[in-house]
């Protein structure tokens, strides 16, 4: 029986594009009237809250407030659209090769799930992406209030596939200590270095590219 495969999203299926993220946040800062470097810094330091608690508008209001600004709602809305546009662009960068790998896995009988430590704009953009139709379940931290490496989020994904976590294989680059979390949940783990070598200390199996996965 083919085992279910659970994928990470950023730096596993698509490039995480950290530099572009910072540029977009800097542009958002101009719209809400705060210093770009300061907003970028706050975006980095509040990543956990953004992953599990705040949507994009809340994030802008809270962080601008911490920087002494009270931006008008129209400015918040314009800035939020920049971030939503980024999410759509990043999902659109998925390569034909990656889609072919996913299609081959599904054709071979593997059920597929996604677990992403992601803010609300990624979850909003997901259903209209080319990736979404390839997955039987998608679990986002912003929707569950759970984030990797908490083993609970891996069990949520497995439950949505209708199997125990011990039957699943997890594939990810290793950001946010996700590989350790998957192993703690009982999943078999494959690290991918296609976009980034995020966890060089990981001693388990490694695939250089998703195309190296065996269907």
CATH code for the domain of 176: 3.40.50.1000
Q: CA angle, 103 as apex, 159 and 194 as ends, to 5°?
A: 85
DSSP H/E element including 176: none
Give yes or no: residues 124 and 77 share one domain: no
With b for 16 or more beta-carbon neighbours within 10 A and e for fewer, the 64-86 pattern comes to beeeebebeeebbebbbebbbeb
- How confident is the model at residue 41, as a pLDDT? 98
What string of pLDDT tens digits covers the 215 residues of the chain? 899 999 999 999 999 999 999 999 999 999 999 999 999 999 999 999 999 989 999 999 999 999 999 999 999 999 999 999 999 999 999 999 999 999 999 999 999 999 999 999 999 999 999 999 999 999 999 999 999 999 999 999 999 999 999 999 999 999 999 999 999 999 999 999 999 999 999 999 999 999 999 76
Q: Which residues pair with 14 in a beta bridge?
A: 10
Q: Are residues 185 and 123 in the same domain?
A: yes
Nearest residue to 208 (alpha-carbon basis) of 195, 196, 194, 197:
194
Both 100 and 23 in one domain: the answer is no
Same domain flag for 56 and 103: no
Same domain, 116 and 193: yes
- Neighbour count for residue 165 (Cβ, 10 Å): 22
Per-residue pLDDT at 1: 82
Q: Which domain holds residue 197?
A: 5-14+95-212
Q: Are 23 and 73 in the same domain?
A: yes
Count structural domains, the chain: 2
Cα gap 148→140, rounded to integer Å: 10
């Amino acid at each position: 029986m083919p085992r279910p495969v659970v994928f990470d999203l950023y730096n596993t299926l698509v490039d995480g594009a950290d530099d572009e993220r910072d540029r977009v946040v800097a542009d958002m800062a101009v719209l809400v009237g705060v210093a770009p470097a300061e907003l970028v810094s706050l975006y980095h330091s509040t990543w956990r809250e953004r992953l599990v608690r705040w949507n994009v508008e809340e994030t802008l209001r809270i962080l601008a407030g911490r920087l002494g600004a009270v931006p008008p709602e129209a400015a918040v809305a314009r800035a939020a659209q920049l971030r939503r546009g980024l999410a759509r662009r990043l999902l659109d960068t998925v390569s034909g090769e990656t889609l072919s790998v996913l299609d081959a896995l599904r054709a071979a009988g593997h059920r597929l799930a996604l677990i992403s430590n992601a803010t609300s704009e990624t979850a909003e953009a997901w259903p209209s992406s080319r990736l979404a139709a390839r997955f039987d379940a998608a679990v986002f931290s912003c929707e569950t209030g759970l984030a990797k490496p908490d083993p609970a989020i891996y069990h949520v994904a497995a439950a949505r596939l209708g199997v125990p976590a011990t039957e699943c294989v997890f594939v990810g680059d290793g950001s946010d200590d996700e590989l350790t979390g998957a192993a703690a949940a009982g999943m078999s783990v494959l690290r991918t270095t296609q976009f980034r070598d995020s966890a060089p200390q990981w001693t388990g199996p490694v695939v250089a590219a998703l195309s190296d996965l065996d269907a």
